[in-house]
Amino acid sequence: MRQEHRKLLSYLRKLEHPALISELREGFQVNDRTLRRWLLTLCDEGQVEATGTNKGRRYRIATPQEADPRIEDETLDALQQALLREAIRDAAYGPTLTLLLTERIRALLPAAARRGFVTGTLQRLQTLTTEDAESLGISPMVFKYWFHLQFSAENFGN
């Protein structure tokens, strides 16, 4: 975590109320755009919560969350299968694959549950067989191409 992010989190912890950008600006010698970028990063990581819109948007330290209880295991498995199909069909691997998975679930899962879901999906991809891919509706030819990309990237450090 960047030093600026740590300072911003510390500053937010000291406040007894959700803060506006104008309040946060007083504690930091940066422009509003930079401050908003830091806050967006911290929101994406689940460390800060934002409420309101536009000039009324306020920020506060996030309360710890568990996985969304409204999402059942069967739904998560179906989501994971859909993401596996998409990743293989789009020939995604490496950092691109992680980004694809993270972006697709951003609105569906709370930040605290995202990392575990992405990690589990990546692990499932590593052990996927041709038969597993076929059960997901992926042709053996497409799967072999994706698998070759994975192997090539690992061997050549891409």
- pLDDT tens by residue, the chain, 158 residues: 688 888 988 888 888 889 999 888 888 888 888 998 898 888 877 788 888 877 888 999 887 554 444 566 678 888 888 888 888 888 888 888 888 888 888 777 777 777 788 888 888 888 888 898 899 888 999 988 888 887 776 555 54
In sequence order, what are the residues at sequence separation of 6 or more whose Cβ sits closer than 8 angstroms to the Cβ of residue 153?
93, 94
Same domain, 86 and 145: yes
- Whether 68 is covered by a domain: the verdict is no
Among residues 66, 65, 63, which one has the least CA distance to residue 13?
A: 63
Helix (H, G, I), strand (E, B) or coil at 68: coil
Q: How far apart are CA 144 and CA 151, in angstroms?
A: 10
Q: How far apart are CA 90 and CA 92, in angstroms?
A: 5
Helix (H, G, I), strand (E, B) or coil at 69: coil
- Whether 66 is covered by a domain: the verdict is no
Final residue in a domain of this structure, among 61, 83, 108: 61
Same domain, 88 and 49: no
Q: pTM for this structure?
A: 0.51
Q: In which domain, by residue range, is 20 found?
A: 3-61
- Whether 78 is covered by a domain: the verdict is yes
Same domain, 21 and 90: no
CA 80 to each of CA 13, 103, 124: distance values in angstroms, whole numbers, following the listed order: 35, 13, 9
